[in-house]
Each structure stands twice: as C-alpha cells, then as structure tokens.
Structure 1
C-alpha cells in the first residue's frame, strides 16, 4: 500500500471513529471527563496564568484572541499530564472495543 493510500485510509478511519463517538454521545462524555481532569490537576489554572503573562507582555491593546490562542496552544498541549492522556486513550480504546461495526 502506497504512503498516500495509507494516509487516506487512516483519515477515513479517524472520520468513522469520530462519527461513532458523536453519534453515541461518547465524544461529549469524553470531553467532560477531560475538562474535569484538567481542572483537577491544575492545568486550567496554569494556562490561565500563562494567558495573563502573555497579555501583560504584549499588551491588551496589541493582541487579538486568535493571536493569544496561537501563543498559548503549544504550552497548553505540553502541560497536559501524561496520566490524563493515558486515561483518555484508555477510555477511547474501551469504547472502540465495544463497537463491533468499526
């Protein structure tokens, strides 16, 4: 299988999985679990503090929301604890194991 064919097949599989997650309501449940875990571990507070620092550094009048999001996204992703990532991945795997038609 060519590399481009594999990428297309992977994209199709991701779309199918996402569709199943949405249809069953599991996507919303996973989002709520993630939101709760990120609050519990202090991620939200850390990111909020980082936002304040960026705004203070650049000046409120000199930064747009889109620029702020672009600035904080890499740090936000890096701050997510591995334990939270592992738990979410485990929940997704469990969901997929229960789906017989994917």
Structure 2
C-alpha cells in the first residue's frame, strides 16, 4: 500500500469514527441540491434512459454512463468548500 493510500485510509477512518464523514455528506447533498446539480443529473438520467430504452438499461449501466458528467458538473465552489471543511477538521484533530 502506498503512502498516499495509507494516508487516505487514515483520514477516512478518522472522519468516519468521529461522525464527520456523515456530516460532510449531508452538507454536500444540500449544496448539490441548492446549485441544481441534482436536477441536472436527474434530467441526464432520463435522457440516457430515453436514448437506450428502459428495457436496455441497468442501474450499473446508468451509473457508468452518468458518473463522468456528474463529476464534471460539481461546481468548483462546492469542491473548494468541502476541501476547506476537511482540512479544518484535520487541523483540529491532528495527532
């Protein structure tokens, strides 16, 4: 396991143990809804299903199809805010 992988695992564990991971997920959900991301993704899903036909699309296919666009549509301000919150949490709880 690389140093980066170990560091990510440690950070994730600390966030999970202290309940911060769930709190950050709730903040992220709210921010994505506020900025219209959720509605854009819903519309994109409907578009993909309409193109391919409901009978020819599985949930896994849909996830593979929409993930790149979903990541690209997350506003930079949301990404920066989340990163700022994670850094703040880590600074407060550094051991």
Q: TM-score, normalised by structure 1?
A: 0.91
- Counterpart of 1:96 in structure 2 is 90
Q: Write the mapping of 1:5-84 to structure 2, written as runs, cut at 5 A.
A: 8-84=2-78
Q: Distance in 1 between matches of 2:53 and 2:84?
A: 41
Across the two proteins, how many residue pairs are aligned to each other?
A: 95
User: Secondary structure of the residue that 1:100 maps to in structure 2?
Assistant: coil
User: Secondary structure of the residue that 1:51 maps to in structure 2?
Assistant: helix
Q: TM-score, normalised by structure 2?
A: 0.98
Unaligned segments of structure 1, at least 5 residues = 1-6
Task: Let me know the Cα RMSD of the aligned residues.
Answer: 0.8
Unaligned segments of structure 2, at least 5 residues = none
**Which stretches of structure 1, 4 residues or longer, exceed 6 Å deviation after superposition?**
none
Displacement after TM superposition at 1:54 (Å): 0.2
